[in-house]
Amino acid sequence: MTVQPARRQRRTKAAGSDYTAANIQVLEGLQAVRKRPGMYIGSTDARGLHQLVWELVDNSIDEAMANVATRMEVTIHADGSVEVVDDGRGIPVGKHASGKDALEVVHTVLHAGGKFGGGGYKVSGGLHGVGVSVVNALSTHLRVEVLREGKRWLQEYTDGGKPTGKVRQSGGRAEANRGLDPTWDRRSGTRTIFRPDPTVFETLDYSWETLTTRLRESAYLNKGLWIRLVDHRADREKIFYFEGGVTSFVRHLNRRRDVLNARPIHVERLVDTTSVEVALQYNDGFAETVLAFANNIHTVDGGTHVTGFRAALTGSLNDWARKAGVLSERDTNLTGDDVREGLTAVISVKLTDPQFEGQTKAKLGNADVKGAVQQVVADGIIQHLEENPADGRRIIEKSLTAARAREAARKARDLVIRKGALDGMALPGKLADCQERDPARSELYIVEGDSAGGSAKQGRDRRFQAVLPLRGKLLNVEKARLDRVLSSENIRPLIIALGAGIGDQFDIGKLRYHRICLLSDADVDGAHISTLLLTFFYRHMPEVIESGYLYICQPPLFRVSTGKVTRYAKDDKERDQAVKELSREGKTKNVSVQRFKGLGEMNAEQLWETTMNPDTRTLLQVSVGDAAETDEVFSTLMGERVEPRRDFIRGEARKVRNLDF
């Protein structure tokens, strides 16, 4: 993967004169969605494919938040179609002001729905009114069935949302509930089945893990909601139901960690028209895990509800610690960073008029929510600690230890910065820097070992490719605070080479390379080194991952050659295919296969040709799909506790086909 600078095009008078009234297009109906699907669902890759499911799931969840639905089912059929069923009120049917049936309007007209203040919903996750109509537009076939007042209404659409006929009434409850869980006697609700358009999406393969994570999350956030997921492709199913709500969610997130307060602190209250529910629990780790939701939408960039929570957490812990005598008068207040070390929390607010920043709804902007959350959380924490003072002492003691470590880290960071300044901002001696100074055109290869580092330095394109070899055992930052990270002989040169600082002083704008490539051997040891580096970036420079700047190289495992023709293969399957093709092309038997035991066995030319040449290499971009799941994986695989790691390995062992890649 490579990014080439766009070529400048000369503006000409002739080009401008071609722009006339005839160039103005008006897209009718759902044509705009099919023309630019990314504008409505974000992308046409796996994320966009799953977004179609979320649009329907969110509609059912909105019914649950309105207290008119208690169950829902999501089914992946063997043919790739997806079905979502709920026992809500059912989409309205009947003649609409437009002259069409209301059911058809909802499915064929953008920005049509019951979430714009018409009284249909007090609280909902989506306010754009494009959900189900977009699903219809991007499907080859969609059928909707509505059960209302004992009658079953249905309509079908094909070819991107075109009705095959009018809304018709056919049957009643028996027909509407056919094929569902026999214990589920729905009296009302909506049932939708759709098949994504293969000409729109890059993949039609739904991920069981992705669906499971999202639906489990929805069940946690809506306690008492019963959700069933069925996958007919592999004959499997899961059921999610949690009476504990966000408290159960926090317990789930911490289930593989040692916790400081056995019973999570839980608060739930209605402030005016805003519902606030928060659960928090401390573990003995160093990372902070705070998941925030507004009307069930995961606000990954936080917002006013997170700001209010943090203010309440810091203030209430300091107030209680002084009142209880854990902090003396001469002690300085604990900072937000101190009290958030080892914190796991889930924040869920439900409000009538959510104001999100940006189309992606990643950040909540309602100003009044900050005060509501701060008031509720502060009162709840104080009450819990007064009733459970032992929990309070453990939390404050951990925060004090974090404060001391933070001061040690500050001194170590200042030393790193000061050393760089005294050396004229000298870069690490082992770094072979590139000539390019534009970060957007610069690449840094972090290479395992001096031998491979030497080959990479010789084989690289020094105009835009820099190489930093790593030697010795890399520090596992999951088990270390920032002060130890900064004193590591392996990690400190990397921090200096990247040039953007670390921790609360990290500045993505100062990053010297916008393509950071992890290059290690294609074996178990190499995978371990890559995992250690991934842990470092995820815990201490998450902005690098969020910005899409981190990549994993894919060096080949085999070299297949006839003497005249050479091919490279990354696994056994590609090796066998190369041997077969070369044997057929040459009609001889002299095909040799070399297995690379490490990068050091490749000369500079081979490493360039297979792994560093932008025209031929394969780079895997690192991204975070689900924050809670990612955090759990790092904690399980890289944390202190052995038992969760052993259980994870035993559970995943059956999926391993070739342990040595």
| Active site positions, annotated | 448, 521, 523, 525
Dihedral angle at the C-alpha atoms of 25, 26, 28, 31, nearest 10 degrees? 40
Q: What distance lies between CA 221 and its chain's CA centroid?
A: 18
CA angle 469/472/477 to nearest 5° reads 95
CA angle 386/272/244 to nearest 5° reads 55
- In whole angstroms, give the CA distance from residue 513 to residue 511: 6
Of residues 597, 599, 495, the one with CA closest to residue 555: 599
Beta-strand ranges (E) seen in 475-535 are 515-519
Phi, psi of 346 (to 5 degrees): -125, 125
- In whole angstroms, give the CA distance from residue 192 to residue 174: 17
- In whole angstroms, give the CA distance from residue 161 to residue 197: 11
What residue type is 602 in one-letter code?
M
How many other CB atoms sit within 10 Å of the CB of residue 394? 16
Q: What is the CA radius of gyration of the chain?
A: 28
What is the 3 state secondary structure string of 95-149? ECCCCCEHHHHHHHCCCCCCCCCCCCCCCCCCCCCCHHHHHHHCEEEEEEEEEEC
CB 221 within 8 A of CB 249: yes
